[in-house]
Each structure stands twice: as structure tokens, then as C-alpha cells.
Structure 1
Amino acid sequence: MILGLKTRSRRVVQDSSFAGIEKSKSDIIKNHAGENEKENCCFWSDLPPELLREVLMRIEESESKWPRRKHVVACAGVCRSWREVMKELVKVPEISGRITFPISVKQPGPRESIFQCFIKRNRDTQTYNLFASLSQALADDGKFLLAARKCRRATCTDYVISLHVNDMQKGRSAYVGKLRGPRRMHCIMDAIPASAIRLGGVGPTQMYFPIASLESHPSFPFFRSKSNYMDKTSSGSSSSKGDGSLILRNKAPRWHEQLQCWCLNFHGRVTVASVKNFQLVASPENGQVGPEHGKVILQFGKVGKDVFTMDYRFPISAFQAFAICLSNFDTKIACE
């Protein structure tokens, strides 16, 4: 019995000492790994500027589409020097036709092409999610861009727009803006001059999200109601030299002889007939119509029960296009 007890106690001692050795080994490995991480971090951040720029330039040129474009975003988050170089290399959507960073959703779309997106509606939660199309197919996973939630009030309907699906509170970093749904679609883009659609025209390009609180710096609306616009023009504050605000209007449909109905050509991007389908073009300035007034700046159409395509181009942004389309969900009267 005594020998048995001694044997057991000896085994316990051996086991505990073995565990202590293993623990010390794991601590050494962790400490060594931590030192390697610090060394690697210093190594990558201390790359010569010329070499760093060459590496990041090749990454930017090779990763043209999502989901592989996430590598470009990851590089911008390594350190300050990488971020500054990436901000120089990544062009705005107006030039590149790509949406890379969050601020891209508030920058004008591409000039030479139309940026294809789609909206998914959730009737139960009264939310709407905007995705960038990853392919020409009408049904794909897409790249998430923005989310909106409908808030019904006694006299109107508000839509809160955010960068995150689960964070839609005002004052948070993900908050992008708010739309108060109008009853008629007559878009007057206060922030965009009418001359922006001309050849060589310039549109406002936001480079960062404001840090100040919404209470101290309230955001200005990017389009107004028709009545407010008429008040402004009647007061003489709107210039007659063509430098007023950009006005978008519904494109007139054409009569289809075979179908015996009025139709709009969505080039295969819309498959379901709906009163909510629309195309917006720039309204002529002072009665003068140019080729730029025939280009569709925003088109919206139904492809499924709760799926809609949304395609936009310069000079409006994804955020502005999304807000205009949200107003179309509130009531059919908005299509007039």
C-alpha cells in the first residue's frame, strides 16, 4: 500500500512538472511569434517609398473586380504610409468606374459607362440593401454598398441610409444620410451644377465623411421639391446662364408597335413590367437640347418580387441614386 501511494505521488509530480515544461515552451513560442510579428510589421512599413509604390501599384492594377479587390482595401489598412499611397493610386469612380472605399458611394459615378447595381427589399424588416453587380447576370451575390430602413411618420416617410445593415442610428460612423420621401419625382440636384453633364464639366467629389456631429453641422439636401425650386427661380436667384442646379426628369417612353404599348429600353436590365420602372435624363437648359441630354443618368426597374436593378452614372453618386430609388418605393405617385 505504501509503495502504491509513493508511485502515485511520484506520477503526479512528474505530470505537473511536465505540464510546467510544456507551458514554458508555449510561452517561448508565443513570445517569439510576437517578436516576429513586430519585426514583419516594421519591415513592411519601412519599405523604400519607390518599392512600396511599385508593389501597391501592381496590386491596384491586377485587382480590378470584387471580391479580389478586397486586397486593395486590406493594403490600405496596413499602416499610414500604405494608406497614403493607396489613396493616390486608387482613382475615384468617375475615372476608374470602380467602388473601392466607403467614401466612393458619395462620389460621382463613371463618365464613360454606367455602373450596374441592384436593390434587395425585405418586406418584413422594411429594409433595402444596395449591392454592386459583380457580373452581367441579373441574379448574383453582389458587393454590399449601402442599407436603408423605412421609418413611417404621420405626414411623411423617412429612409435612414447607412454603411452597415445593423447600425442605422444617427450620429454613428456608419450613418450616411436620410431621405424624406417626396410624393412626386422631380429631382433637382442642388449640389451638382447643370454644366456638369457637358463635355469637360466638373461635378462635386466628396473625399471624406464629415467627422462633426450632425447637430452642429446639419447636412444639406441634395435635391428639393418642385415647389421650392419654383420659389427659387421666381425670386431670381437661379442663374439664366446655365450654371444652375442639375434637373433630372423622366425619359419619355416610345410606342412599341408589336406590343402596342409605351416602352423604355433598359437594354436587358429590367425583366418585369412595373409602374415603378423609370429612367432619368438631364433636363435641357434654357430649351437647348444637346447629345448629353439623351444619356440615361439613372435607371431603375424590377427583375423579381423584391429585387430591382439600379444603374447610374456621372454626375450623381451611388448614395444619391439609391436615395432617389428609395423614394420610388414609398408610393406609386412618385413615378409621375
Structure 2
Amino acid sequence: MVSMNDTTHADSRTRTAPRPAQRVAHPSPAIAVDELVKHYGDKLALDYLNMEVRRGGIYGLLGPNGSGKTTAINCILGLLTYDSGEIRIFGEPMGPTSYDLKRRIGVVPQDIAVFNELTVEENVSYFCSLYVADRARRKSLVDEAIAFVGLDDYRRFRPRKLSGGLLRRLNIACGVVHKPELIFFDEPTVAVDPQSRNSILEGIEKLNAEGSTIVYTSHYMEEVEQICDRIQIIDHGRQIALGTADELKRMIDVGERISIEAPSLAADEAMRERTLAALRALDAVHDAAYEDDVLTVSCVQGAHNLIDVLQELRRLDVPAGHVSSRTPTLNDVFLALTGTDLRD
């Protein structure tokens, strides 16, 4: 909008034209997927999928097994052909022979992809050589990558001598040694100990802080919530939700889940049914259930849900034991939106 100050009068008969508004140049997304369709025979794997990954972020791509995540990633990487749609990386079309673009991408697969015959250092050096020809530059990058994942003491070890967590770190070093601008992490913390998991997540956040855009897939929702700034959920090859973790949680009815130990209801079926009916009748209650001596009450978002539930139990003379309350998790979002637990 042009303000009055943007227009001046030369005299009563002439007026200068308003200055055009300045345009702010926004860089193209790291990934732009438009209406992507992919069939495997009669099976529709990607159903007009759209996806936009902004530069400099950590993007969570989630979905149950068979949802189309792997197919989408392989199409984005130029490893699969597709029926229709468009894929652009850093504003440029991506295809099987887009080698200049592929040099700017790193991939850390779920399966360990290293050579058992080579040492840690030789593995990292080999993968670096696929992108960097200069030996001096390659040596520097290899040293940096090994230090980055904390494998300096294991340089001469072969992979079969490494623990699961150390193998995962080696897998990461091989995928990021060439300092890619865009990195795909496919379930990098599967079957590792908590210490290794924390180390891997901290490493991913550090790579992002240094400028790499991250696409992250995982079945561990606490990880996704911890590191991802945007999350896309897909199922049956199409997007069903997109937003921050908090935005996704606001999409479902359940705003709070209250658990109350009530062993006295176990032996009194009539009282148990009256209690459940009374709790379900509360304005904020979405559902109530009883199992293994515990009442579970699902509520919509509200400031006084716990107080209302406990007052109702007191009115019914139902003794309450241990009480806990939690907000919805991303797995709750999955159950609500897909009907499928993420770990299936």
C-alpha cells in the first residue's frame, strides 16, 4: 500500500506517480513437489501429493507403513520415475540425470549402507570421493565428518567391530561428509541406545544450525516433536495434515487425557457404568473408559477439565487414587487422523 507521503505535488496541475512497492526476494523452497502421482501397476502409491520444504528447516515426513513416504523420497531423489507431477530442488527440475542437484543432497538411509571390508575412515573417504575429487579437500572433510559423529577413536575399526549406535554414527558420517545443503534422514535412530540417540539428534540439530535443510522420518514421535519445525503426515499417498506439532494437535478433538486409579469400580459393574455415563455427560468430556483399575477420560481443550472430573467422582463417592493428566501426543494425532498407530 502506498501512503500519502509517497505522493508529492509539483504544483496544482501536476502530480508524480506513486513509487512502486519494493519486492522482497524470497529464495525458492529446498523441495517443491506438485501434484505427484505414482502407480505400481494397479496400486496407487502417490495420489497427487504436494510437499514444500522451506530452506533451513527440519521437516518431519510421517506416515504409517505403506503410506507412500519411501516412494515419495525416492521420486524426490530421482531414483524412481513417476506418472505425473513436478519435483523441483532449490528451484530447479529434479530428474534421474540431475547430477549437479544430487551433489547438493545427502542421504542417511534406515539400513546401514557401508562396506564391511573397509575401515571407518576408508568408508567415509569412499563416500566423500563420490562428490569431491580433490584429495586434500577430501581428507579435510573426512576428518571433520569423523570428528562430528565422535568416531575418532574408531578410525581403524571395521564395521563388524562397532556397536549398533556406532554403526549408525558411521552411516551418518558417510551421508553428510560432503557437506550437503539438503539431507534426508530415514529413521536414523532405529534400535540404538538412548545415549546414541541423543548424540544423533544433537548432530542433526547442529547440521541444521550450520545451514543444512533436513527431511526427517521416524517412528519415534518424541524425536519428531523435539527437532522438527514443520510436520507433514501422509497416508495412502496423499497429505492428510501439515503444520507444527502444536497445530497438528489442535486438529483433533482430544485436548487432554486424564488417568485416575479407581480400583473400587472393578467389582461393582453397576457403579462402574453409572460413573462412565456421568463422566461422558460432562460438557468437556469426549469419551471415558475403564480398564485395569484405571479410568481414562478424554477431554476437549479446557482449563478446568481435571477439576470437573474429580468433582464428579467426589459427587458419585468414587475414591480416586493416583491422578495424571497429559496433553495429546503426535501418536494421538495419528490415531485420530488415520486410525493407525504410527508404529504399525
When normalised by structure 1's length, the TM-score is 0.22
When normalised by structure 2's length, the TM-score is 0.21
